[in-house]
Structure formats: C-alpha cells, structure tokens
Amino acid sequence: GIQVEQSPPDLILQEGANSTLRCNFSDSVNNLQWFHQNPWGQLINLFYIPSGTKQNGRLSATTVATERYSLLYISSSQTTDSGVYFCAVSNTGGFKTIFGAGTRLFVKA
Amino acid sequence: DVKVTQSSRYLVKRTGEKVFLECVQDMDHENMFWYRQDPGLGLRLIYFSYDVKMKEKGDIPEGYSVSREKKERFSLILESASTNQTSMYLCASSKRTGWDRNEQFFGPGTRLTVL
C-alpha cells in the first residue's frame, strides 16, 4: 500500500516565524488532504489538494503529484497554530485513506 | 458548512459493557468512516460505509461492529468493551461524486476509557 512520510516530526517556532511542512507519498494518488488537529483532538480541514497550489490566509499548500510530494506553508505563525498537522492520501476511490504520522508544531509566544 | 457530530466527547465504560458510539452528518454524504487514534499508531480505519446498510471492514475491525440504517447516521458498536479499546474514536464523512469527492470531514471525536 501507499506509504506516507511527513517531516519534520516535531517543530518549535517563535511566534511570527514561517515554516514548511512536507509530505512524501510512495505512489500516485487521487486525493490529498492536509488537516490540523487542535489540542482538543478535532481534525480541521485545511486543504483538499491532489495537485496544484492553494492559499487560505496565512496558509498555503502545493502538491506536485508527478514527484509525489506536498508542502504546507505557514507564514507569520501564531500560538493558535500549535497542534499536529496531518497529511492524508488515497488512490482507490477514497475509501482507504492513509494518514501520515503527523508533524507536531509548537509556536512559542 | 459540513457538520459531523458525535454523541459524546468523553465516555467511561466498564469492561464487558456494550458501547454505542453515534455519528451524524448533515451534508447528505454517501461515505462514512470510523477511525481510532492512538499515540504512536496514528489514525487507523475500523469500518467504513459507502451507502445505507452497506459496510466494509477497515484495517482493525476486530472487536467492533457497525450499523448504518439511515444515510446520515453511522454507529460504531463495541459488543463487549475491553481495556485495549480505550482510545480516541473519530468519525468522518465524504461524498462520492464531484470534483471534491472523497474529501473527508471529521467529527470532534469521542475519548473512550474502558476500566
């Protein structure tokens, strides 16, 4: 099955700093999502981005499907950005979604 | 706005009890999913359903069953709860057609503790 690797596993930032999170996947995919899991456990949808680039405020994402990776950019980080960021992919009609292990982000005030 | 709700945020049960976790979505999605999340193991798919009364096993179905009698509701059942089923349970839904088909939306989760 598809393997999903996220890096870095942990990241500590000073408030206001920028960061790039990476997601590598081992096979072609039809779907790719980025989620933020907040401290209460809720998974919040950030991007649905099987290819191309999208932006939403301070966050943007790029997926290069032919090279099997996706990047999540966080600019001017805030303490509320803390949490775990997951990348999730699927290629079989969406039923079997494979999640990466996540990047744990802590933003210091 | 897609909304997925789960019946409880926190639940404490005794070993051997029958446990029902309910999930409801209000966006007419065909697909619904149950995952559990454990430290170091990530999110693992327990069961999914692509239509009413249809169900498919995920990666870790043992000890669980599901029910989908109505399109908007997907229930996870622990027939006889055990301590190793203490976990965070997450429900999700997605639609089957459209450019954004299979984009999954999650509920807030249920933290289940089995004593």
pLDDT in tens, B56-95: 999 999 999 999 999 999 999 999 999 999 999 999 999 8
Token pair, residue B59, equals 């990666």
Give the gap in angstroms from C-alpha A43 to the nearest C-alpha of chain B: 6
Q: Write the DSSP symbol of residue B11.
A: E
A6 strand-pairing partners: A23
Of A93-102, B6-15, B38-47, B99-108, the one with minimum mean pLDDT is A93-102
For residue A94, pLDDT over 70 is answered with no
pLDDT classification of A92: cutoffs 50, 70, 90? low
pLDDT classification of A101: cutoffs 50, 70, 90? very high
Facing A95 at nearest CB: one of B48, B88, B108: B48
Q: Write the DSSP symbol of residue B53.
A: T
3-state SS class at A79: helix
List all residues 6 or more positions away from B4 whose beta carbon is below 8 Å from its beta carbon: B23, B24, B25, B91, B92, B93, B105, B106, B107
Which residue numbers of A have CB closer than 8 Å to B's CBs? 30-31, 33, 35, 40-43, 45, 48, 86, 88, 90, 93-97, 99-102
**Distance from first CA to last CA of chain A, Å, rounded?**
40
Measured between CA atoms, the residue of chain A closest to residue B35 is: A97
**Is the separation of the CB atoms in B44 and A96 below 8 Å?**
no
Region A15-26: what's the mean pLDDT?
Answer: 97
Facing A99 at nearest CB: one of B31, B42, B108: B42
Q: Which residues of B touch A39 (CB under 8 A)?
A: none
A94 and B102 within 8 Å at the Cβ level: the answer is yes
Q: Could you please report the per-residue DSSP string of A27-67? A: S--SEEEEEEE-TTSPEEEEEE-SSEEEEETTEEEEEEGGG
Token pair, residue B9, equals 């945020």
Q: How far is CA A48 from CA A25, A52, A62, A82, B66, in A?
A: 15, 10, 10, 20, 28
Amino acid B40: pLDDT: 85
Region A55-79: what's the mean pLDDT?
Answer: 97
A41 and B88 within 8 Å at the Cβ level: the answer is yes
